[in-house]
Chains A and B, each alone.
Chain A
Amino acid sequence: MLTGAGRRADVLLLDLNLHGRMVTDRIAELAAAGHRIVVFSQETHETAILAALDAGACAYLAKHEGREHFVDTIVAVAEDRPYVTPSVAGAMWADARAARPTLSGQEREALLLWFQGMSKASVAVRMGISVHTVHQYIDRARLKYARAGRPGPTKAALLARAIEDGLLRPEDVGEYHSFAAPRPRIGRATNRE
């Protein structure tokens, strides 16, 4: 998979359905090798989205979101910044698993409105807060997911960048603090297949 030019890519775009086979199980492997992965899929079921995030995918783009969010997602992920597409917002809002991260009421409200298709500016007006705060609510929810579950280099990079950007305080990250210091260099991953 990574013998060609893709080896040096900053971001890998992965279609979950490769030649009729779901490749969700390959995400963890690629993420562990330090690749930033954006899943681009027809699949919008929340369990598929949450599974991809848990495995270490940086972002999830539903195919119908491509037109509006494609470039922004890729740019954000290349900079190790969170980018929450409406489908991911919906999946986090609807997460009913026992081990899900606890989201605040404001975070849930922002996620729901963003999922419904409002612009962030409209979400801000609707909630009576600034656009910046809307971004914070949505990104913090995403970072809570990055902190939960298995640690990995892409999750650590996301958290490290969040600390640099002032979205998180180092003490919020807890046991993953040690991962947060150096940003993993892309392209150092060993070749596979």
Chain B
Amino acid sequence: MANETTPALAARYARGTLIGAIVVAALWHVANDAVVLIRGWADLHPPVGAGLSLAAWVAYTVIGVMAARALLRGRNVGRAAVAIGLPVLLAGAAAGVVASGPGQVFGPANWPWGSVGWFALLLLWRRPLSWLVAVLGANALIVLVTMLLIQDIDRIDVARWAMIVYGTSVLQVVFAAGASFLERDATRAADSAGLQARAAATRAAAQRVHDDRIDRYRAVESAASDLLAGLAAGRLDPSTPTTQRRCAAQAARLRRLLAERDDSPEPLVHELRACAEVAERRGVTVELEVLGAIPAIPLPVRRALTEPPIDVLAAARTRARITVAADPSVIAVGVVADTDAGADEPDTRSGAGPVTVTVSHHREGKLLWVQTQWHPPSPSPLSTTTLSSRRVSVRG
């Protein structure tokens, strides 16, 4: 359990202590109390004494089982159960003295005296230690008073009484103190771990927002600043088709950047639509058709898929057709547009490993076709998205 968290470990210790207390009480009640009750049956004052002792044993058993059940389920023993259980335990202590009879109070037949502490420990589990001390004090007093009622006592009896009080109380008090310490530790560990986790989550979220912001800033900077600086310095002539095309492409990239932040069920289509709108504003008629179920696509892949289409759209003169076709093994973004720019180039690959996107070009007269393709690492289940095909034509 090398990677077990501190709260889990503390909780396990606390539960171990509880099980220890239940086992001690059960063993004591069976191996000591029951044996003494059976062996001393004849010596107990029959029929009243034996009957009283048996009744006390049964009552203690019921209390013990009830308390153990509640505690093992992670609950405290209920208030009502405590309010009934404690008087029953103390009444048992008195009954034990009466049942064992004069002169036998310190003998083994008076077993309830020693058992009250263990059962009170269970009844008062996770409650203040002082309550247990009070019950143990009441136990000692009841034994003393009952003894006084049934026989004369001398100094030696008082000394033996005090000795047994010590013997029947110290163990339970130490046990209860240790248990409450562990319990508190477990709670504290859990609380502090929770606080740490929350702090870490907040930090991670802040870092993420910060990174995203930096990322966007860099993208905007590289997309627009060169162009703006060139225009401002007069190095770029706004009247040339090349500059106009560059401006159109950068405008589409900025628009895509904004679209990436939107919460959309199909981000790829949403981002392409944003790019298409920029082209439409220039008077280009754009068709956008979507075919099949598009799986989740990571942002870097979406950018790689949309980058070449952006350049084609920026160069489009009057019309462009964008298609997104998806099946479980491939996502293909295709653009056909009438343009003068862009040559018939061999296929290229961008990215590496799972983000490899293949780019294909083909020119036929005025028409340029560009396709980007990405193969998802593992076939995504079709059930994640419904089959869909839409056509968007804002103009024309």
Residues of A that sit less than 8 Å from B by CB = 44-47, 62, 64, 87, 90-91, 93-94, 96, 112-113, 115-119, 121-122, 125-126
Contact = CB atoms under 8 A, between A and B. Distances in A.
Given A46-B389, A90-B389, A116 B334 contact: yes
B88 interface: no
B364 A119 contact: yes
B287 to A, nearest CB: 6
- Could you tell me the dominant secondary structure of chain B's interface residues? strand
Nearest to B285: A64
A94 B334 contact: no
Contact of A96 (B287, B321, B362, B387): B387
Interface of B: 287, 289, 291-293, 321, 323, 325-327, 332, 334, 336, 360, 362, 364, 367, 369, 371, 382, 387-391, 393
A47 B336 contact: no
A94 B292 CA distance: 5
Contact of B334 (A47, A117, A125): A117
A112 B332 contact: yes
B326 to A, nearest CB: 8
Nearest to A126: B362
Given A46-B387, A91-B389, A96-B293, A115 B325 contact: yes
Contacts of B334: 112-113, 116-117
B325 A112 contact: yes
Given A90-B323, A94-B326, A117-B323, 8 more contacts: A47-B387, A64-B393, A93-B327, A94-B291, A117-B321, A117-B369, A122-B362, A122-B369
Contacts of A90: 289, 291, 323, 325, 389
Nearest to B361: A126
Contacts of B369: 116-118, 122, 126
Given A90-B323, A126-B362, A64 B336 contact: no
Contacts of A125: 362, 364
A100 B116 CA distance: 79
Contacts of A121: 364
Most chain A CB within a 10 A radius of its CB, from B369, B389, B393? B389
Contacts of B289: 44, 87, 90, 115
A96 B389 contact: no
A101 B332 CA distance: 22
A3 B335 CA distance: 45
Contact of B327 (A62, A94, A116, A119): A94
